[in-house]
Amino acid sequence: MPQEKYPVTRTEAEWRALLTDEQYRVLREAGTERAFTGEYWNTQAPGTYVCAGCGQPLFQSETKFESGCGWPSFFRPQPGALVERPDHSHGMTRTEILCSRCGGHLGHVFTDGPPPTGLRYCINSASLKLREDS
């Protein structure tokens, strides 16, 4: 995990107790779930997607779109919700997306998204929880 300081910090034992094995692998070890397998890749329910690690609001359902990539995709995050950093893993150059509150790995952002931003925030379902509108 990154060495930066975040408002929400826990020991690795606390993270393991709080998260499922898959959530821990994705959020704390920068893992990636397989395409078309995550809980939210095809969800259309209205609500707010929050960080599964700390509950910070990340994306509104109105910004979710079908990108065909097999992961939940959004064109705009909540203001201040994300931290970006370069990712040179797996022989690629990408921009990693982290939760600005707990530093959890969420996914990556790409420049092939729809208007109005032209961005595609490709996010692992395991890093999210959907708070559905009532």
The residues carrying an active-site annotation are 122
Side chain identity, residue 129: K
Cβ distance 26 to 32 under 8 Å? yes
Q: Among residues 36, 16, 10, which one has the least CA distance to residue 99?
A: 10
**Cross-strand pairs, 123:** 107
Cβ distance 113 to 47 under 8 Å? no
74 contacts: CB under 8 Å, gap ≥ 6: 49, 59, 63, 64, 65, 120, 121, 123
Cβ distance 99 to 52 under 8 Å? no
